[in-house]
Amino acid sequence: MRILVVGATGTIGRGVSEALADRGHEVLPVGLSRGDLTVDIADPAAIEALYATVGAVDAVVCTAGVAQFGALDDLTDEGFATSIGNKLMGQVNLVRSGLGIVADGGSFTLTSGGLSQEPGPGTAAVSMVGAAVEAFACAAAIDLEGRYRVNVVSPGWVAESRVKMGLEPMPGIWAKDLAAYYVDLVEGQQTGQILSAETAKA
């Protein structure tokens, strides 16, 4: 398959790109500002331009998206708007603009996060948009049934990210193990599914 991976320069995206390439897929890696293909998913016109550049693909994976952490008292309108416009609408628009570009029977695999179901202090905006991504995917899968599959991976702590923060890698999941969840959704037949990915797949 010819697969567009948005967010490919990040920790998760690199792992997903490598895992898909190892399985023989043609991976088109997309970064925010680095690489041959770039896109700011907060900009709908940039998404349209990306699709126009790459042409037909069989699947789209998005591991990109920015959301604002902060206590509710401290979150500004701008913080909420950034979270909605990037993490949520960026992924929504990857699906919307991909209709007719992604081959019939193809798939969109999006990313939410464990905070969408298990929020903590300072995560009001992050939890909100993550849960919205999941709700969107479930509803979009119904509308697109028979044409496209739409699914979400919901990662917990990524071990590499914990190490960068000076923490022990566990409890966490290594990017290569997390990538297996994305591969399953790309290669499988599931639609409207939210996969919670906190441990290595057996």
Residue 83 has phi, psi (to 5 degrees) of -65, -45
Q: pLDDT tens for residues 48-68?
A: 999 999 999 999 999 999 999
Report how far apart, in Å, the C-alpha atoms of 199 and of each of 79, 145, 159, 183 are.
31, 29, 10, 15
Range of weakest confidence among 22-31, 105-114, 155-164: 155-164
> For position 201, what pLDDT does the model report?
73
Q: pLDDT at position 170, please? A: 86
Closest CA to 44 of 92, 78, 5: 92
Which of the four pLDDT bands, split at 50, 70 and 90, describes residue 8?
very high
Task: Reply yes or no on whether the pLDDT at 21 is more than 80.
Answer: yes
Q: What tokens does 186 get?
A: 């790309």
Is the separation of the CB atoms in 38 and 31 below 8 Å? Answer: yes
HEC letters along the chain: CEEEEECCCCHHHHHHHHHHHHCCCEEEEEECCCCCCECCCCCHHHHHHHHHHHCCEEEEEECCCCCCCECCCCCCHHHHHHHHHHHHHHHHHHHHHHECCEEEEEEEEEECCHHHCCCCCCEHHHHHHHHHHHHHHHHHHHHCCCCCEEEEEEECCEHHHHHHCCCCCCCCECHHHHHHHHHHHHHCCCCCCEEEECCCCC
* Multiple choice CATH, 2-197, 3.40.47.10, 1.10.420.10, 3.40.50.720, 3.20.20.70: 3.40.50.720
Closest to 118 measured CA to CA, from 67, 163, 154: 154
Write out pLDDT tens, residues 143-198: 999 999 999 999 988 888 888 888 888 888 998 999 999 999 999 999 999 999 87
Residue 202 has pLDDT above 70, yes or no: no
Which pLDDT does position 169 carry in this prediction? 83
Q: Which residue has the higher pLDDT, 202 or 89?
A: 89
How much is the pTM? 0.94
Residue 44, pLDDT above cutoff 70: yes
* % of the chain residues with pLDDT over 70: 100
Residue range 85-89: mean pLDDT, rounded:
97
pLDDT higher than 90, residue 107: yes
